[in-house]
A and B are shown apart, each in its own frame.
Chain A
Amino acid sequence: MLWNSLNLFITIFETLSVQKIEFSLKLPANAKELYDCVINFDNHKKAFPSQLKNIEIVENDGTKITTKETLVFNTYIGNTEINQKTIHERIFPNIKSEIIEGPFKNSKIDVVFEEPGEGTKVSCKIELSVSLKYKILSSVIIKKYKVILTSLLYKMNSLAEDK
């Protein structure tokens, strides 16, 4: 009885811990060129030398790429370092990423690159699942995710346009 109640509590708590955010951007670069810049993970490290301490590809079958990365978040309680593993499924115009290890395990980031005439419409959907340990930071982290993803897209757009 107690065990069931505890499990129910944990399930409810974890459901409440999932934060969602959706947004879109219109960028001037060609959709495929922008897509290729974003899926090149070496570009991420160059764009965020302080926030992305490390990123390495541990598996790549052409469509699915698994990366292992160390992120640094500057939070109210100082710098927090996070190690995680992510699977990215790449089928143009989509990149579907799912975090499979780390405190944000089961989080999903879907990005779609559409070409409505000139430029690219980038639609982003983030579903952030936060472990109990990081629950206190979840509202900060979801906002930071939007800022970081937007900033990455801006920098990749500049890179794509410079090609």
Chain B
Amino acid sequence: MTDEIINWDNVFLQSETFQKNKPFQYTFVKNFLNKEFYDVLYSSYPEDDDSWIIPKDFGRSAKKRWFGEADPNSDKCSLDVEDSSLNESWNKFFHYIHSKEFLQNMSRFSNFEINKLKHFAFIKNGKGSFNMPHTHHPTEKKEDYGYNLTLLVYFAKGWKKGDPGGTYLASEEDEESIIFEPYDLDNSCVIFAESSHSWHGSRYMTQDAIRRSIQFTLI
């Protein structure tokens, strides 16, 4: 199954960059998914319906949807479940990111000991969406982190260079300190390590576009 779903060669090519990047570990992987598999996921990305929610956090505006019963805010967050409303490819992908092969490869890529998937969400940003700079673990000790790696995979074609919406990485809690922002959002992936200063977010979208993505975390 190795390259049927994820282009591992592309991921491992970024391993050294990820491990050496500062002020926290991060990288950007183009052509993250196998092209044929990506095309199927792209064309069957879930449409808007009652299963999407808009979180009420003050610092963000975007739509989210969980995978079946694996609600990140529940005790089922890490379960390898089926979502009958999604096709076989999405279910295959979800099962794969719980697999030993995937977790071992992510351990090899990051040089972290990765043991399981913690959370998964579909995230859709449109005109007016944003996510103010934040970190997931501002105060906790490293050993108490809920997860150690965050991945965002994009399913948005035709993104223009300079357009807001991709997840930026920043050195401070301020959009003026952005160190990286992706513009190729067609089958690409931002990966960053969790730390007290892993600031990230997405700039306010003023353009008529839809940024379709998935976010998942690993521990």
Contact = CB atoms under 8 A, between A and B. Distances in A.
A143 interface: yes
B173 A143 contact: yes
Contact of B204 (A23, A49, A76, A154): A154
A76 B174 CA distance: 18
Nearest to B138: A76
Contact of B58 (A51, A143, A146): A51
Contacts of A147: 59, 132-133, 173
Contacts of A158: 61, 127-128
Contact of A50 (B56, B176, B204): B56
Interface residues of B, number: 18
Interface in A1-41: 23, 27-28
A76 B173 contact: no
B155 interface: no
Interface in A37-85: 47-51, 76
Contacts of A150: 132, 175
Contacts of B58: 47-48, 50-51, 148, 151
Contacts of A47: 58
B57 interface: yes
Interface residues of A, number: 20
A161 interface: yes
Interface string B124-152: 00011010110000110000000000000
A28 B206 contact: yes
Contacts of A88: none
A47 B57 CA distance: 9
Interface centre among B56, B58, B130, B176 (most CB of A within 10 A): B58
Contact of B130 (A50, A146, A154): A154
B174 A143 contact: yes
Contacts of B204: 27, 154, 157
A75 to B, nearest CB: 9
Interface in B139-178: 139, 173-176
A121 interface: no
A31 B76 CA distance: 46
Nearest to A158: B128
Interface centre among A50, A147, A155, A161 (most CB of B within 10 A): A147
Interface of B: 56-59, 61, 127-128, 130, 132-133, 138-139, 173-176, 204, 206
Interface of A: 23, 27-28, 47-51, 76, 143, 146-148, 150-151, 154-155, 157-158, 161
* 10 closest Cβ pairs, A-B complex: A158-B128, A48-B58, A51-B58, A154-B204, A147-B132, A28-B206, A76-B139, A154-B130, A151-B59, A151-B132
